[in-house]
C-alpha cells in the first residue's frame, strides 16, 4: 500500500501550523502529539465519551473522529485558545466558582461545549444547556454544577 | 494511504478514474474514522467530500425537496425548510448520536452508515481475541455462532440509521452518480438484507442528494429506543406515516440486518383500528431481535407495538 505524507496548513488558536503528517493521523493526535496541546483529552478515542471536543470552523466537534488531513485550511480552537491571555473566559471562571470541576478530565470539553452554545445563544434555557453537554460524559460532578456554571456564565456575559 | 480533496463532482470522478488501488469516500467521517482505526484492511486512498460544495445544499423544487448528501445532521435538524416541510426528519436527526457528532456527520453518511454488531464493533485487540468473523474476513459469526460458513456467509449485524425509517415513509429517492452515469433509486429498493454489503451502492458511486416528494403522508412520526438518551445508536427505531386516504405505513430500524418497510391500505381492513392492530402484529412478527442485543427480544417486540400505537394516538 502506498503511503505518502499529507501536507496540511491549519490555524490552531490563531497560529498557522504547516506540517507533513500521516494521512491516518487524527486531529486529536495532531493537536496533542504534533503540537503538544494536551488540554484536549483522549478518552475513548471512538466518539463516545466526548472528551476531545474542539471547535472546527466554529462548530463543536470530536477531534478523535476527524482526520487531520481533512482539516487542511480550517480554523481550530482548543481549550488552550479560549482564555484571553491571563483573563479566563467567563465560563472558565464560572466552572471554578461553581465547583464544576472534580477530576477535570471532561472539563476542557465541557468548556468547549458551553462556549459554543453561548456564542449562538446568550440566554440558553435548562433544556438547551443539558442538550449542549449531552455528548460529553462526566463521571464526577453529576452534571448539575456544570449546568449551573453555564447558566451563571451566560448571566455574567450579558452584564 | 493517499488523501484527495476534490472541489467539484466532476473533479472527484477525474480522481477516481486515475486512482490505482482501492478508495473510499469520506463524508463527515464519524462512521468511517472509527472503521479506519479498527480495520486491518484500510484503503489506498481516501477521497474527502467536504469541499464539494454543490452536494451540501437543501433546495425546494416544484413537487419535491432535495437534500444534498453532505448536509450535516445539525444543519438538517435546524433548517427552516426541513422543519416546515418534513419536521419528523429534523426530529429524527436531533435523536442521532451527540451534538458534536451531528455537527460533523452527514445525511448521506447516515443513510450509508455501517451496520452494528457488538462483536465486530470493538478494538482490533478485543476482536482478535474472539477470532475474526465473516465481516472481518474470517470464517465464523461470533454473534450467531450457529451460522454456517458457506458460499454466502450471513452477517446479522443490525442496520442502525436513524434517518432511514422516516425516509422510507416519505418515499424518498437517492440520486446516485458514477463517472458516466446518474441514476435515481428509491430508498425502499436500496437496502440489502446482508450486514456486510448492506446496500446496492457500487464502490465507484457517490450519493449526490436525497429527493423527498411532496405530500406522501399527512402525518409522520419517529420514535427511538436506546439505553442512554444521548450518543446511543437505536436499539429500535420505528416510524409511522398516515396518508390523507388514511392508508398506513410503518418502517423499522435497529433490529434486523436491513431496515423494514410495510404499507397497509385501509380498504383491505374493516376499519382503521383493525389495520393498526394488523400493522402492530406484523411489526412484531417481522423484527428478528437477538438475545445478544441491548434489550431482551420480548421487550423489543413489545416496544414495536407500543411505539406504533402511541404515535398513531397522536394522529
Ligand atoms: C458514538 C457514536 C454514536 C452514533 N450514534 C448514532 C445514532 O444514534 N444514530 C445513527 O443513525 N448513527 C449514529 N452514529 C453513526 C454516524 O455518526 C452517523 O450515522 C453519521 O450520520 C454518519 O455520517 P458521516 O458523514 O460521518 O459518514 P462517514 O463516516 O463519512 O461515511 C459513512 C459511510 O458512508 C460512505 N459515504 C458517506 N457519504 C457518502 C456519499 N455521499 N457517497 C458515497 N459514499 C458515502 C463512506 O464511504 C462510509 O462508508 C454514531 C456514531 C458514533 C461514533
Ligand atoms: S453478525 Fe456480522 S459482524 Fe457480527 S460477528 Fe457475525 S459476521 Fe461478524
Q: Which of B157, B256, B292 to mutate to test the pocket of ligand 2 (most atoms within 8 A of CB)?
A: B157
Please list, in sequence order, all residues whose beta carbon lies within 8 angstroms of the beta carbon of residue A77, skipping any fewer than 6 positions away: A12, A13, A54, A55, A112
Whether residues B73 and B114 share a domain: the answer is yes
Supply the range of the domain harboring residue B264: 217-312
Helix, strand, or coil here: B25? strand
Q: Evaluate if residue A2 carries a pLDDT over 60.
A: no
Q: Residues B274-298: what's their mean pLDDT?
A: 96
- Do residue B12 and residue B130 come from a single domain? yes
Are B223 and B208 found together in one domain?
no
pLDDT (mean) for B249-272: 98
Q: Do residues A102 and A70 both lie within one domain?
A: no
Q: Residue B277: its pLDDT value, please?
A: 98
Q: How confident is the model at residue B125 (pLDDT cuts 50, 70, 90)?
A: confident
Domain stop point among A37, A55, A81: A81
CB pairs below 8 Å between A and B: how many?
92
> B100 and A66 in contact by Cβ < 8 A?
no
Give pLDDT tens digits for B49-78: 999 999 999 999 989 999 999 999 999 999
For residue A1, being part of any structural domain is answered with no
Mean pLDDT over B214-236 rounds to 93
* pLDDT mean across residues, chain B: 94
- Whether this model's ipTM surpasses 0.95 comes out as yes
pLDDT > 60? residue B198: yes
Q: Give the CATH number for residue B114.
A: 3.30.465.10
Do residue B291 and residue B238 come from a single domain? yes
State what percent of residues in chain A have pLDDT above 90: 97
Predicted TM-score of the model (pTM)? 0.97
Q: Are residues B108 and B10 in the same domain?
A: yes
| Residue at which a domain ends, from A39, A61, A81 | A81
Residues B180 and B80 in one domain: yes
Helix (H), strand (E) at residue B248: strand B248-253
Give B149's pLDDT tier (boundaries 50, 70, 90).
low
**Would you say residue B150 has pLDDT above 80?**
no
Q: Which set of grid coordinates corresponds to residue B72?
A: 450535516
Residues A146 and A97 in one domain: yes
Report whether pLDDT(B82) > 50. yes
Q: Specify the CATH number for the domain of residue A124.
A: 1.10.150.120
Mean pLDDT, residues A89-107: 97
Q: Which of A86-95, A97-106, B200-209, B287-296 has the lowest mean pLDDT?
A: B287-296
Which residue has its alpha carbon closest to ligand 2 atom 2?
Answer: B155
Regarding predicted confidence, which is higher, A113 or B125?
A113
- In this structure, the answer to whether residues B16 and B78 fall within a common structural domain is yes
Do the Cβ atoms of B99 and A132 come within 8 Å? Answer: yes
Please write the tens of the pLDDT for every residue from B100-111.
Answer: 999 999 999 999
Q: Please give the pLDDT value at position A151.
A: 98
Is position A40 within any domain? Answer: yes
Cα(A85) to centroid(ligand 1), Å: 38
Looking at B213, B244, B259, which one is the last position of a domain?
B213
One domain for residues A77 and A95:
no
Q: State whether A63 and A122 are in the same domain.
A: no
Query: Are B55 and B158 within one domain?
Result: yes
In the reported structure, the alpha carbon of residue B292 is separated from the centroid of ligand 1 by a whole-number distance in angstroms of: 24
Half-sphere exposure in the Cβ direction for B128 (13 Å, CA) = 6
pLDDT for residue A1 is more than 50: no
Per-residue pLDDT of B16-47, as tens digits, reads 999 978 999 999 999 999 999 988 788 999 99
Residue range B157-191, pLDDT digits in tens: 999 999 999 999 999 999 999 999 999 999 999 99
Domain interval for residue A118: 90-157
B207 lines ligand 2 (CB under 6 A): no
Residues of B with CB under 8 A from a CB of A: 1-3, 5, 21, 26, 29-30, 33-34, 36-37, 42, 44, 46, 48, 50, 74, 97-101, 103-104, 229-231
Task: Give residue A31's pLDDT.
Answer: 98
- Mark whether A113 and A153 lie in a shared domain: yes
E strands, B126-246, are: 173-177, 182-186, 206-213, 219-225, 236-242
Is the CB of residue A118 less than 8 Å away from at least one CB of chain B? no
Verify that A64 and A100 share a domain, yes or no: no
Residues B278 and B307 in one domain: yes
Are A10 and A71 part of one and the same domain? yes
Taking CA–CA distances from B28, the nearest residue in chain A reads A66
Where among B151, B178, B213 does a domain terminate?
Answer: B213
Contact call for B29 and A67, based on CB within 8 A? yes
Domain stops at, among A48, A81, A114: A81
> What pLDDT is recorded for position A3?
60
Number of separate domains in chain A: 2
Give the ligand with the smallest distance to the CA of B145.
Answer: 2
Q: Cβ of B282: how many Cβ atoms within 10 Å?
A: 16
Rounded distance, CA B284 to CA B309, Å? 12
Query: Are B19 and B167 contained in the same domain?
Result: yes
Average pLDDT, chain A: 96
pLDDT in tens, A44-68: 999 999 999 999 999 999 999 999 9
Question: Does one domain contain both A51 and A100?
Answer: no
How close A50 comes to chain B (CA, Å)?
8
- Number of domains present in the structure of chain B: 2
Residues A13 and A77 in one domain: yes
Predicted pLDDT of residue B130: 81
Residue B286: which CATH number? 3.30.390.50
> Does residue B114 sit in the same domain as residue B207?
yes
Looking at the predicted structure, is the pLDDT value of residue B131 above 90? no
HSE-CB at B183 with a 13 A cutoff on CA atoms is 15
Amino acid at each position: 500500500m502506498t503511503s505518502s505524507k499529507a501536507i496540511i496548513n491549519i490555524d490552531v488558536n490563531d497560529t498557522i501550523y504547516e506540517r507533513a503528517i500521516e494521512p491516518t493521523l487524527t486531529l486529536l493526535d495532531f493537536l496533542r502529539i504534533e503540537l503538544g496541546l494536551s488540554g484536549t483529552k483522549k478518552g475513548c478515542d471512538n466518539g463516545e465519551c466526548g472528551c476531545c471536543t474542539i471547535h472546527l470552523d466554529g462548530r463543536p466537534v470530536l477531534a478523535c473522529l476527524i482526520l487531520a488531513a481533512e482539516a487542511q485550511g480550517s480554523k481550530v480552537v482548543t481549550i488552550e485558545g479560549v482564555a484571553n491571555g491571563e483573563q479566563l473566559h467567563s465560563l472558565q471562571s464560572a466552572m471554578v466558582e461553581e465547583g464544576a470541576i472534580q477530576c477535570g478530565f471532561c472539563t476542557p470539553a465541557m468548556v468547549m461545549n458551553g462556549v459554543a452554545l453561548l456564542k449562538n445563544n446568550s440566554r440558553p434555557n435548562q433544556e438547551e444547556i443539558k442538550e449542549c453537554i449531552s455528548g460529553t460524559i462526566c463521571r464526577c460532578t453529576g452534571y448539575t454544577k456544570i449546568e449551573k456554571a453555564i447558566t451563571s456564565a451566560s448571566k455574567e456575559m450579558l452584564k | 494511504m493517499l488523501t484527495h480533496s476534490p472541489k467539484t463532482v466532476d473533479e472527484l470522478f477525474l480522481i477516481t478514474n486515475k486512482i490505482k488501488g482501492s478508495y473510499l469516500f469520506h463524508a463527515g467521517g464519524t462512521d468511517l474514522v472509527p472503521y479506519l482505526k479498527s480495520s486491518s484492511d484500510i484503503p489506498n486512498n481516501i477521497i474527502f467530500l467536504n469541499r464539494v460544495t454543490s452536494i451540501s445544499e437543501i433546495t425546494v423544487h416544484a413537487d419535491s425537496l432535495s437534500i444534498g448528501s453532505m448536509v450535516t445532521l445539525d444543519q438538517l435538524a435546524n433548517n427552516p425548510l426541513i422543519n416546515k416541510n418534513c419536521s419528523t426528519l429534523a426530529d429524527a436527526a436531533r435523536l442521532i448520536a451527540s451534538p458534536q457528532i451531528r455537527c460533523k456527520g452527514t445525511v448521506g453518511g447516515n443513510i450509508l452508515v455501517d451496520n452494528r454488531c457488538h462483536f465486530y464493533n470493538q478494538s482490533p485487540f478485543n476482536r482478535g481475541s474472539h477470532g475474526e468473523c465473516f465481516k472481518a474476513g474470517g470464517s465464523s459469526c461470533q454473534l450467531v455462532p450457529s451460522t454456517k460458513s458457506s458460499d454466502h456467509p450471513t452477517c446479522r449485524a443490525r442496520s442502525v440509521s436513524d434517518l432511514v425509517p422516516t425516509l422510507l415513509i416519505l418515499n424518498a429517492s437517492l440520486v446516485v452518480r458514477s463517472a458516466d452515469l446518474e441514476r435515481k433509486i428509491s430508498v425502499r429498493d436500496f437496502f440489502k438484507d446482508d450486514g456486510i454489503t448492506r446496500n446496492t451502492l457500487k464502490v465507484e458511486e457517490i450519493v449526490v442528494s436525497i429527493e423527498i416528494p411532496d405530500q406522501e403522508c399527512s402525518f409522520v412520526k419517529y420514535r427511538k429506543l436506546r439505553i442512554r438518551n444521548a450518543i446511543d445508536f437505536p436499539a429500535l427505531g420505528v416510524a409511522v406515516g398516515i396518508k390523507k386516504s388514511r392508508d398506513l405505513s410503518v418502517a423499522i430500524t435497529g433490529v434486523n440486518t436491513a431496515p423494514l418497510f410495510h404499507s397497509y391500505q385501509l380498504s383491505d381492513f374493516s376499519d382503521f383500528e383493525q389495520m393498526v392492530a394488523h400493522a402492530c402484529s406484523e411489526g412484531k412478527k417481522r423484527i428478528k431481535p437477538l438475545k445478544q442485543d441491548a434489550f431482551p427480544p420480548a421487550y423489543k417486540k413489545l416496544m414495536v407495538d407500543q411505539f406504533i400505537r402511541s404515535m398513531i394516538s397522536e394522529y
